[in-house]
Amino acid sequence: MKNTLLKKLLFLSFFVLGYSQTAYTQTAFGLKAGINYNSNSIEEVSSDVFEGAESKTGYHAGIWLRLKIPVLGLYVRPELVYTNLENELKYKFTGKMTSYSFQKIDIPLLFGKKIFGIGNVYAGPSFQYILNSEFSFSDISEVDADGFTVGFQFGGGIEFGNFGVDLRLERAFSPIESRFIGTTGSPVNFDTRINQVILGVSYRL
């Protein structure tokens, strides 16, 4: 089922890109990469099973496309990005420390405006699909996270020739409901809420 949702999500993203190319004048495209910091991402639902959750720095890499919107002086910037995030926390049933990592595909659809020739400000929704999630030790097994969620990104950046640097904030509209089988053999539910600070660099091809 997850593979079917991912195919639909990817199809939607490429449809948006294709439609944008026919509706607007293409101005630029390129590559991007950077680091992510995900804060306050683990919250208990069915029982108090974690403590001391601490976010660790993650990373992202992907492609972007920027297209002018005629007359309005704005542009639309769709992106297709792979993101890896990780948290460190204590599993209270055993007292052991573990890390919780998850990987996702992000498809931000940002609307922006250039300022002072080299600056940019932008905002828009970010569609996200969770590819995989897991804890680092065997006490916790059968980890599963709901595949699809939506967030909102806003931020700005500057460009120097073909290179760019930007800083964004991302806020989740809703948590990702996740579950696992713990040492008791019973399913445990928890929330994974993605609230990020994203620092990225880009290169225009």
Six token digits for residue 60: 């992202």
Q: Quick: pLDDT tens for 85-114.
A: 888 877 877 778 888 888 889 999 999 999
Q: Where are the domains of the chain?
A: 2-204
pLDDT of residue 18: 53
Banded model confidence at residue 197, pLDDT cuts 50, 70, 90: very high
* Nearest CA-CA partner of 49 in 186, 145, 142: 186
Q: Quick: pLDDT tens for 129-186.
A: 888 888 887 777 677 777 788 889 999 999 999 999 999 999 888 767 777 776 666 6
Residue pointed to by tokens 């950046």: 157
Banded model confidence at residue 24, pLDDT cuts 50, 70, 90: very low
Topology annotation, domain 2-204: Porin (2.40.160)
Instruction: Give Cα separations from 126 to 45, 108, 114, 162 (angstroms).
Output: 25, 4, 20, 25
d(CA 143, CA 120): 39
- Please give the model's pTM, rounded to 2 decimal places: 0.79
What number of other Cβ atoms are within 10 A of residue 45's Cβ? 13
Instruction: Kindly state the average pLDDT of the residues 16-31.
Output: 62
